[in-house]
A = this chain, B = another copy of it.
Amino acid sequence: MTKYNSMIETISLAHGDGGELTHQLISDLFLRYFHDEALQPLNDAALLPFPAGRLALTTDSFVVKPLFFPGGNIGTLAVNGTVNDLAVSGARPLYLTVGLILEEGLPISVLEEVIVNIATAAREAGIAIVTGDTKVVEHGHGDLIYINTTGIGVVDDCINLDYRRIRPGDVIICSGSVGDHGLAVIAARENFGLEGLKSDCAALHTLILPLLENFSSTVKWLRDPTRGGLATTMKELAQSAQVNIILSEEAIPVHDNVRGGAEILGLDYLYLANEGKFCAVVDKIAVEDVLAFLRRHSLGREAAVIGEIKKGSGRVFLRTALGATRELYLLSGLQLPRIC
């Protein structure tokens, strides 16, 4: 049963007009769950202290369909996705904004469930929700809920994750199995009846920030392989750093049900989105220590060396289990819309 203090059970256009119903939504629903000290719901901007260091700023819109899927939902995704973009930039997450585009007719109970998940995920990630915005569009011009989150973090001056530090011989580590999020969402959306799939949606900063504290000189570059999956992230890295990358198919962690499910659906798990994994480029001398460090954390238990940096000009090759080599490109033509 909804705790929203009103007889109105669905979102109407008047919830977005800035008047009485907008106020009621803010005070009865949002403020019930969002109560960070710095939150100033009726001010135009939140005024915030900012510690010494560089400011990291990231924004993401979330249009995932369905809103709820095994392992997560649009609310946890909107928080963790932005927290992770900060973390792989070496930033300690500080502040989060939440912008909602609601579709007329959205049940308030569904909105409430999403808000609860946003609040819980933010609290768990230690990021303060400080300001927000709500718009309502007519039925048929949205899809229940779209969320934008923008995150601010602070990066210590000693952290440098510039790809220009990458050298041939460096090693690529993946923090865990790939493809879980993308396949879980597609399976939930299409009712494919694949069993046991679960999004890996998680906030990674509790693993990444200590990693950077302990390995600041040997962990050279980080990225979370979300849309486009591991293959696209590797291709982007190879192109930016102007190196080649050799990946080992056998070394890439992938759960059996993801491998099997992807095969059934004709999808390549290397291109499926992840929401709780990161890739790191690490100096060879530190690989064993980094692996041991990652595996001690629940989010890094399946961490593995998956490849190596070579001299080159932006190409990515996969050594298959059979000993063949195939080249990987940016995701192209594979249409898996709305997985985040």
Q: Give chain A's interface residues, CB within 8 Å of chain B.
A: 12-14, 16-23, 42-50, 54-63, 84-86, 88-89, 91, 95, 97-101, 130-133, 135-138, 140-143, 146, 148, 150-153, 155, 223-224, 226-228, 232, 236, 240, 271, 273, 329-338
Contacts and interface: CB of A to CB of B under 8 A. Distances in A.
21 contacts: A17-B331, A18-B228, A18-B232, A18-B273, A19-B271, A19-B333, A20-B331, A22-B228, A44-B84, A45-B151, A46-B56, A46-B58, A50-B54, A59-B97, A59-B98, A59-B132, A60-B133, A61-B148, A62-B135, A63-B101, A148-B148
Given A42-B240, A148-B59, A331 B18 contact: yes
Grouping DSSP codes into helix (H, G, I), strand (E, B) and loop, the A interface class, with mixed when no group exceeds half, is mixed
A101 B61 contact: yes
Contact of A54 (B49, B63, B151): B49
Given A23-B330, A61-B133, A331-B20, A47 B56 contact: yes
A146 B13 CA distance: 16
Nearest to A148: B148
B61 A91 contact: no
A137 B137 CA distance: 15
Closest 4 CB pairs between A and B? A19-B331, A18-B227, A18-B228, A59-B97
